[in-house]
């Protein structure tokens, strides 16, 4: 806490704060909890649409799926804890995001993880990577929520600061929606779940809102420890409470623990609350009031209960073997009073903790180095060896087979996973309905480093296209904004540009942002990460397609089509430039909103009609990598014609591949024509190698076996040896 | 006739098992682990998950859950008793099936479809199948590495194979002795397997090969309900 912030507290209270009060303000006013640097900019996001039930500001965003069904979606980061202690950092990230979703009354049905590290050739990165994957698996599998997809990426900028983001989707019936409100005076506050201890004291301020240096391992005690078994029981107990209509409101205990879960619900209800810390069930004695208020012990929820229903609530907790204690009571007047050993240890306006946090309109300016970066290009007159380039790219962990990761995650539980990990987007059915939910999460640090506004907008379009390719209409975005130190004007500029890019793209597609998270201070020893926004897109497919397109559905003899703009040559920020040329520079192509909308509509049409067994977007690695991925997954070669080698590796947006039998040609042309999208037949599947032809001459060829081996080994071989 | 699907704190496949059995026309109900009367049921499934958190050896606490006395009684009476994944681990801990399940050879969780070769049809799990059939069913476990005293390993029902039914070290995902994926007791009415047949009952989810196993179980339950012993 800064001196100015301390003065603000003194001004609010009209006196010097007591120690416990200071503890509460220090965590609640941390960057992590208060969004004090980002809040002035987040109002830019479009957040409204007729189907939005709950927008940003609650624990999770909620949208209406029709027929009385709602979906709740939330994304969070656990970057710094995962660097300090990879297994527990990642595990507790999973636990936290689950609580955000079942706090809303929803059953969590799926998780996604977006994880980024330095290159795997460095043993410390392998340690972090394997620890994070094991932590996600250890917690997610045991808590009984499938991890159905996500992303892995590797860049040197994440070496000292890996990114561990996690997203959770839940579903609920409309009449089970619960909000984080404390209710009327007389309502009882019941603390459910694990006992409170000294783990994670001040994690929100010490870890999540500060930069790293070589002494960061000393922060390990600020990392919490997860217990998925407690969380599983807590989920089932809470769902039974909702089903029996036994709670007025509920709030999870995450960052800032009891401070947050008492003050925020009271403030939302316009009420105050009396809290007795002696009644909190604890795992160690002699904790100070400040420690009790700041502890981030996991797997805890605060339920607000009508006094007449308290016995029933306690009986449900007892059935599920969940500890419960009555710790407080809602009072009129707006004052939060905290007692310990009969003494009043804190007395503050409840709303001052969450609503009076300072905001900083931090200065921002375009980085001085950007113009030079845009001007920096490579000599690309010489054609590369296409086959060798493809081998190099597919053999890199960022583009290689991610199954080493997702085969450690239970991705099938609940029998909803129609399209699981390793495809474009994921598709989950909702049993007992005709509906499916499609989800894609996308990030690309290189593009956003070169041009945050264009890069971020392209992520929105890419994720919408991925969702459309499994037959769904994109309907809501959540974002996780991972950035460096906001006290640097160029980082704040990257941030504001990113918000603008996401907002513009969402506006053009009429998709609301229903929630998000900001993670600043992702810097180590003064070096910031690339600006790395992650976009999570939710789409609704109703009806669920019988046979959604799959990467493995290609067969010899089928035509390969490119849908969308075809003659892009820009390689700025591409995987080709990074992995083959060893260069990062130039300016990525600006997205084109009306083309984006048309291409997304066409993709959805083709998926719903079942015209093409395979649809695949052209993104990282360009056309060549997209074709190779289809060939590897479908176990068949291809012959592809091209006119300029740049076209094969360019990552310009709004393009996808369709693979279909020759008799579907007329349907594809007609659909593309109707959408105003260019359709080009670029080749066909067949044989046992991938061949690239120009003017009827083979200019690049690589055996399917060779690319498949490189792709399969990219992560696996580095981790298993 | 109704099947009891036991819910331990930490179980997580119980709803999937009920869904799968009902979709095959077999009535099933969830039973809490503290319920100690299963006389209304004609068969029992211990589903997958992490009973009691599995922080100790898998199944080591669950074997003491109150419901297990009833599971033992039903097994002794010849009723069909099936353990899937964590349920299999619990049955071995309870001594209703021989052997133990160790951590996977590579010390990593494995979630992916595997091929299984049917080795015996003399059980409540495989009676509708044919020896030599190859089934594609998802595996989903960290402790799936079966081992036992060779003299006591029970009746081998299923082994990890390739798609053509060839069983070799190369087709062994987790280090299990003799590629064993599922076994039964001598009477054939108590069976356990590591893969999840309830995850392979609909083509939209990738495979329907689990149906023959769950149908075998359902038929066995019906036979037992009609007063015929499930022994085969």
Task: Say what the alpha-carbon torsion angle A199, A205, A211, A214 is, to the nearest 10 degrees.
Answer: -30
Q: Which two tokens stand for residue B123?
A: 């059980």
Query: Is B85 labeled as catalytic in the residue annotation?
Result: yes
**Cβ separation of B109 and A137 shorter than 8 Å?**
yes
Element (H, E) at A437: strand A436-443
Mean pLDDT of A217-227: 68
**Which H or E element spans position A276?**
strand A272-276
Rounded Cα–Cα distance for residues A270 and A183 (Å): 9
Answer yes or no: do B9 and A321 touch at CB < 8 A: yes
Nearest-angstrom CA–CA distance, A397 and A416: 29
Give Cβ neighbours of residue A600 (< 8 Å, ≥ 6 apart): A461, A464, A465, A468, A474, A509
Predicted pLDDT at A226? 87
Question: What SS3 state is found at A498?
Answer: helix
Question: What does the pLDDT look like over B148-169, one tens digit per residue?
Answer: 988 776 799 999 999 999 999 9
Is the CB of A409 inside 8 Å of chain B's CB atoms?
Answer: yes
**Using a CB-CB distance cutoff of 8 angstroms, which residues of chain A are in contact with residue B15?**
414
Cβ contacts of B16 on chain A, cutoff 8 Å: 413-415
Q: A721 in contact with B at a CB cutoff of 8 Å? A: no
Interface test with B, best of A109, A110, A322, A415 (most B CBs within 10 A): A415
The DSSP-derived string for A527-544 is EEPPPEEEEEEEEEESSP
Element (H, E) at A597: helix A593-609
Mean pLDDT confidence for A162-168:
97
- Give the pLDDT confidence of A620-642 residue by residue, as tens digits: 999 999 999 999 999 999 999 99
Interchain CB distance below 8 Å, B111 and A408 = yes
Lateral strand order in the sheet of A513-519: A417-419, A426-429, A436-443, A532-541, A473-482, A513-519
Give the number of beta-carbon pairs within 8 Å between A and B.
79
Residue A208: is its pLDDT beyond 60?
no
Distance CA A473, CA A545 (A): 12
Q: Please indicate if any CB of chain B lies within 8 Å of the CB of A233.
A: yes
**Distance from the B227 Cα atom to the nearest Cα atom in chain A, whole angstroms:** 33
pLDDT tens, position by position, A553-569: 999 999 999 999 988 99
**Interface membership of A432 toward B (CB under 8 Å):** no
Q: How far apart are CA A72 and CA A370, in angstroms?
A: 39
The CA distance from A697 to A689, in Å, is 15
Task: Fill in the DSSP letter of residue A212.
Answer: B
As a whole number of angstroms, the distance between CA A449 and CA A454 comes to 10
Distance from CA of B230 to the nearest CA of A (A): 29
On average, the pLDDT of chain A sits at 94
What is the helix (H) or strand (E) element at residue A712, kind and residue range? Answer: helix A704-720
Q: Looking at the partner chain, which of A142, A228, A418 has a beta carbon nearest the beta carbon of B205?
A: A418
Q: Is there a contact between A413 and B112 if contact means CB atoms under 8 Å apart?
A: no
DSSP class of residue A677? -
Q: Which residues pair with A164 in a beta bridge?
A: A115
Q: Do B199 and A415 touch (CB under 8 A)?
A: yes
Is A32 tagged catalytic? Answer: yes
Confidence of residue A256 (pLDDT cuts 50, 70, 90): confident
Q: Calculate what percentage of chain A has a pLDDT beyond 90.
A: 85
pLDDT at A429 over 60: yes
DSSP string computed for chain B = --EEEEE-TTB-SHHHHHHHHHHTT--EEEEETT----TT-SEEEE-SB-GGGG-SSTTTTGGGSTHHHHHHHHHHHT--EEEETHHHHHHHHTTSSSSEEEPPTTSS-EEEEEEEEE----STTTTTS-TT-EEEEEEEESS-EEE--GGG--EEEEEEE-TTS---GGG-SS--GGGEEEEE-TTSSEEEESS-GGGSSBGGGTB-TTHHHHHHHHHHHHHHHTT-----
- CB atoms under 10 Å from CB of A54, counted, come to 18
Residues A309 and A590: their CA atoms lie apart, in Å, by 57
What are the tens digits of pLDDT across the range B3-31? 999 999 999 999 999 999 999 999 999 99
Determine the residue among B9, B24, B206 to mutate to test chain A binding: the one whose Cβ has the most chain A Cβ atoms within 10 Å: B9
Identify which of A232, A319, A408 has the shortest CB distance to residue B10.
Answer: A232
Contact B112 A415 (CB under 8 A): no
What lies within 8 Å, CB to CB, of A393 at 6+ separation is A399, A575, A576, A579, A580, A621, A624, A625
pLDDT at A204 over 60: no
Please tell me the distance from the alpha carbon of residue B104 to that of residue B173, in angstroms, as a whole number. 8
- Compute the residue count for chain B: 232
Q: How far is A584 from chain B (nearest CA, A)?
A: 36
Which chain B residues are within 8 Å of A407, Cβ to Cβ?
109-112
Residue-wise pLDDT tens digits, A30-60: 887 878 888 889 999 999 999 999 999 888 9
Name the percent of chain A lying above pLDDT 70.
97
Are the beta carbons of A137 and B13 separated by less than 8 Å? no
Burial group, residue B203, by CB count within 10 angstroms (0-12, 13-18, 19+)? exposed
Measure CB to CB from residue B50 to each of A229, A417, A418 and give the nearest one. A229
The model carries a pTM of: 0.95
Give the residue-averaged pLDDT of A153-164: 95
Question: What is the pLDDT at residue A203?
Answer: 59
Residue A272: closest CA among A351, A342, A326: A351
- Residue B11's closest chain A neighbor by CA? A144
CB-CB under 8 Å, B111 with A407: yes
Nearest to A443 by CA among A9, A13, A77: A77
Let me know: does A26 contact A203? Beta carbons within 8 Å: no
Question: What residues in B contact A137, CB-CB < 8 Å?
Answer: 109
Interatomic CA distance for residues A200 and A78, integer angstroms: 13
pLDDT at A466: 98
Listed residue (B189, B188, B208) closest to B197, CA to CA: B208
* Residue A250 to residues A27, A348, A406, B40, Cα–Cα distance (Å): 20, 21, 33, 38
Q: Which residues in chain B are closer than 8 Å to A431, comparing Cβ atoms?
A: 19
- Domains of chain B, first to last: 2-227 (3.40.50.880)
Residue B15: active-site member: no
Does the distance separating the beta carbons of B108 and A142 come in below 8 Å? no
Query: Taking Cα atoms as reference points, which of A515, A505, A508 lies closest to residue A457?
Result: A505
Would you call A545 helix, strand, or coil by DSSP? coil
Instruction: Kindly name the residue from B26, B70, B85, B119 that is annotated as catalytic.
Output: B85
Q: Which residue has the higher pLDDT, A179 or A601?
A: A601
CB contact under 8 A, A412 and B205: yes
Q: Counting Cβ atoms within 10 Å, is residue A139 exposed (0-12), middle (13-18) or buried (19+)? A: buried
For B225, phi and psi rounded to 5 degrees?
A: -60, -30
Q: What is the pLDDT of residue A681?
A: 97
Sort out which chain A residues have CB atoms less than 8 A from B199's CB and list them: 412, 415
Helices (H), A408-543: 445-450, 452-468, 489-509
pLDDT at A143: 97
Of the candidate ranges A215-224, A399-408, B165-174, the one whose mean pLDDT is the lowest: A215-224
For residue A217, is pLDDT > 80? Answer: no
Residue A224 forms beta bridges with which residues?
none
Whole-number Å distance between alpha carbons of A668 and A635? 24
Q: Which residues of B touch A (CB under 8 A)?
A: 9-13, 15-16, 19-20, 32, 49-50, 52-55, 106, 108-112, 138, 140, 142, 196, 198-199, 202, 204-205
What are the structure tokens assigned to A215, written together?
Answer: 């002494």
Contact present, B74 and B187 (Cβ < 8 Å): no
Of the given ranges (A105-114, A198-207, A644-653), which has the lowest mean pLDDT?
A: A198-207
Are B32 and B7 a contacting pair, CB within 8 Å? Answer: yes
Give yes or no for a contact between A498 and A513, defined as CB atoms under 8 angstroms apart.
no
Chain B residues touching A142 at Cβ < 8 A = 10, 50, 53-54
> What is the distance between the alpha carbons of residues A663 and A681, in angstroms, rounded to a whole number?
13
Give the DSSP H or E segment for A31: helix A31-34
Q: Quick one: which of A349, A260, A359 has its CA closest to A4?
A: A359
């Amino acid at each position: 806490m800064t001196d100015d912030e301390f003065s603000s507290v003194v001004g609010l209270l009209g006196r010097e704060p007591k120690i416990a009060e200071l503890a509460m303000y220090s965590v609640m006013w941390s960057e992590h909890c208060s969004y004090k640097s980002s809040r002035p900019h987040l109002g830019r996001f479009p957040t409204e649409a007729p189907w939005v039930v709950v927008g940003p500001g609650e624990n999770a965003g909620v949208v209406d799926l029709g027929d009385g069904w709602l979906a709740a979606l939330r994304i969070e980061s656990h970057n710094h804890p995962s660097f300090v202690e990879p297994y527990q950092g990642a595990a507790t990230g999973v636990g936290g995001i689950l609580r955000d979703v079942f706090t809303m009354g929803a059953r969590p049905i799926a998780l996604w993880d977006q994880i980024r590290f330095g290159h795997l050739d460095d043993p410390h990165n392998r340690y972090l990577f394997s620890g994070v994957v094991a932590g996600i698996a250890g917690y997610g599998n045991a808590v009984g929520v499938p991890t159905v997809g996500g992303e892995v990426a590797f860049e040197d900028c994440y070496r000292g600061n890996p990114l561990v983001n996690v997203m959770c989707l839940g579903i609920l019936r409309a009449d089970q929606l619960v909000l984080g409100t404390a209710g009327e005076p007389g309502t009882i506050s019941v603390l459910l779940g694990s006992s409170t201890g000294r783990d994670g004291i001040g994690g929100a301020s010490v870890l999540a809102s500060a930069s790293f240096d070589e002494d960061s391992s000393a922060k390990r005690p600020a990392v919490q420890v997860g217990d998925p078994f407690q969380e599983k029981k807590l989920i089932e107990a809470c769902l039974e409470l909702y089903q029996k209509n036994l709670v007025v409101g509920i709030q999870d205990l995450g960052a800032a623990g009891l401070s947050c879960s008492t003050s925020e619900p009271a403030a939302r209800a316009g009420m105050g609350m009396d809290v007795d810390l002696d009644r909190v069930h604890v795992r160690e004695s002699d904790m100070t009031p400040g420690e009790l208020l700041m502890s981030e012990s996991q797997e805890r929820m605060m339920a607000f209960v009508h006094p007449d229903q308290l016995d029933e609530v306690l009986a449900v907790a007892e059935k599920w073997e969940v500890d419960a204690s009555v710790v407080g009571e809602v009072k009129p007047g707006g004052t939060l009073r905290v007692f310990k050993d009969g003494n009043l240890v804190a007395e503050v306006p409840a709303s001052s903790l969450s609503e009076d946090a300072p905001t900083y309109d931090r200065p921002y300016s375009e980085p001085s180095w950007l113009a030079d970066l845009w001007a920096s290009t490579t000599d690309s007159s010489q054609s590369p060896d296409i086959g060798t380039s493809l081998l190099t790219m597919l053999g890199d962990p960022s583009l290689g087979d991610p199954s080493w990761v997702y085969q450690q995650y239970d991705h099938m539980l609940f029998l909803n996973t129609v399209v699981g990990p390793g495809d474009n987007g994921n598709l989950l059915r909702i049993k007992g309905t005709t509906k499916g939910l499609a989800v894609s999460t996308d990030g690309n640090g290189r593009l956003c480093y070169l041009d945050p506004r264009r890069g971020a907008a392209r992520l929105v379009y890419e994720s919408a296209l991925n969702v459309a390719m499994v037959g769904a209409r994109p309907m809501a975005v959540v974002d996780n904004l991972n950035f460096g130190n906001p006290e640097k004007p160029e980082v704040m500029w990257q941030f504001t540009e990113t918000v603008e890019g996401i907002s513009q793209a969402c506006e053009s597609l009429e998709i609301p942002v229903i929630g998000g998270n900001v993670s600043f201070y992702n810097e180590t020893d003064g070096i910031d990460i690339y600006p790395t926004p992650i976009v999570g897109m939710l789409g609704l497919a109703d009806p669920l397609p019988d046979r959604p397109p799959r990467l493995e559905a290609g067969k010899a003899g089928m035509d390969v089509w490119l849908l969308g703009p075809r003659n892009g040559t820009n390689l700025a920020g591409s995987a080709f430039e990074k992995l083959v040329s060893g260069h990062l520079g130039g300016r990525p192509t600006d997205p084109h909103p009306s083309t984006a909308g048309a291409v997304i509509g066409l993709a959805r049409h083709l998926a719903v009609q079942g015209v093409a067994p395979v649809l695949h977007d052209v993104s990282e690695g360009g056309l060549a990598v997209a074709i190779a991925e289809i060939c590897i997954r479908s176990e068949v070669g291809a012959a592809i014609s091209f006119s300029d080698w740049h076209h094969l590796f360019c990552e310009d947006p709004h393009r996808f591949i369709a693979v279909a039998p020759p008799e579907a040609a007329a349907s594809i042309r007609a659909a593309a024509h109707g959408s105003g999208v260019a359709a080009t037949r670029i080749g066909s599947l067949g044989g046992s190698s991938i061949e690239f032809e120009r003017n009827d001459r083979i200019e690049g060829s690589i055996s399917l076996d060779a690319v498949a081996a490189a792709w399969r080994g990219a992560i696996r071989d580095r981790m298993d040896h | 006739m109704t099947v009891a699907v036991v819910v331990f704190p930490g179980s997580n496949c119980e709803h999937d098992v009920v869904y799968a059995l009902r979709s095959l026309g077999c009535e099933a109900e969830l039973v809490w682990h503290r319920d100690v009367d299963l006389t209304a049921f004609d068969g029992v499934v211990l589903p997958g998950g992490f009973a009691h958190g599995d922080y100790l050896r898998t199944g080591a606490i669950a074997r003491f859950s109150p419901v297990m006395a009833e599971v033992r009684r039903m097994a002794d009476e010849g009723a069909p008793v099936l353990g899937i994944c964590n349920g299999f681990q619990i049955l071995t801990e309870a001594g209703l099936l021989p052997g133990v399940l160790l951590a996977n050879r590579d010390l990593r969780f494995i979630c992916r479809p595997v091929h299984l070769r049917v080795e015996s049809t003399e059980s409540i799990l495989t009676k509708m199948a044919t020896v030599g059939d190859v089934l594609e069913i998802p595996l989903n476990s960290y402790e799936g590495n079966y081992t036992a005293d060779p003299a006591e390993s029970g009746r081998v029902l299923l082994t990890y194979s390739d798609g053509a039914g060839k069983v070799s070290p190369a087709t062994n995902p987790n280090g299990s002795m003799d590629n064993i994926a599922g076994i039964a007791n001598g009477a054939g009415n108590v069976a356990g397997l590591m893969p999840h047949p309830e995850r392979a009952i609909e083509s939209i989810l990738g495979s329907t090969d689990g149906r023959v196993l769950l149908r075998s179980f359902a038929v066995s339950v019906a036979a037992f309900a009609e007063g015929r012993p499930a022994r085969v």
